[in-house]
């Protein structure tokens, strides 16, 4: 799968990328704001090699050098639909959200078994 992680925490990105790599996912990209992520998703779709999955945090900047917004990630599925981009989306948050519009929601905290949950989500979305 071709995966884009939208996350402003390097530590969280590295944890996700490490688990994805152990699962055999080598084509993982990362952005720390939504504007850059949307640009990557659009460029990939236009080139004929679209992303299969976007894993997004809830709280991160909408643009480079902008302050984080609490629900930036929550808006991602609607924004993708508005732009005609068909990318499966997973909300990855430290709060246990179940947000409509996402293909899955991942509860990312140390006390949960988020790694197994991520494996299950990827198997289901393939």
Give the tens place of pLDDT for each residue, 31-54.
999 999 999 999 999 999 999 999
Q: In the chain, which residues have pLDDT < 50?
A: none
Tell me: domain 2-125, CATH 3.40.50.2300, correct?
Answer: yes
Q: What is the pLDDT of residue 74?
A: 94
Q: What is the pLDDT of residue 95?
A: 82
Residue 9 phi, psi dihedral angles, 5° rounding:
-95, 115
Q: What is the pLDDT of residue 120?
A: 96
What does the angle CA 18 – CA 102 – CA 37 come to, to the nearest 5 degrees?
Answer: 60
Q: Looking up tokens 């688990």, which residue turns up?
A: 19
* % of the chain beyond a pLDDT of 70: 100
- Give the other-Cβ count within 10 Å of 106's Cβ: 20
Are 45 and 85 contacting, i.e. CB atoms less than 8 angstroms apart? yes
Domain boundaries, given as residue ranges, for the chain: 2-125
């Amino acid at each position: 799968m071709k995966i884009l992680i939208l996350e402003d925490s390097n530590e969280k990105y590295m944890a996700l990328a490490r688990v994805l790599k152990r699962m055999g996912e080598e084509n993982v990209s990362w952005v720390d704001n939504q504007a850059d992520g949307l640009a990557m998703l659009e460029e990939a779709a236009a080139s004929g090699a679209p992303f299969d999955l976007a894993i997004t945090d809830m709280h991160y900047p909408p643009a480079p050098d902008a302050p984080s917004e609490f629900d930036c990630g929550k808006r991602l599925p609607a924004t993708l639909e508005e732009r005609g981009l068909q990318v499966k989306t997973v909300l990855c948050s430290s709060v246990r959200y179940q947000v409509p519009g996402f293909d899955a929601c991942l509860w990312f905290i140390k006390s949960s078994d988020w790694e197994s949950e991520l494996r299950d989500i990827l198997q289901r979305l393939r």
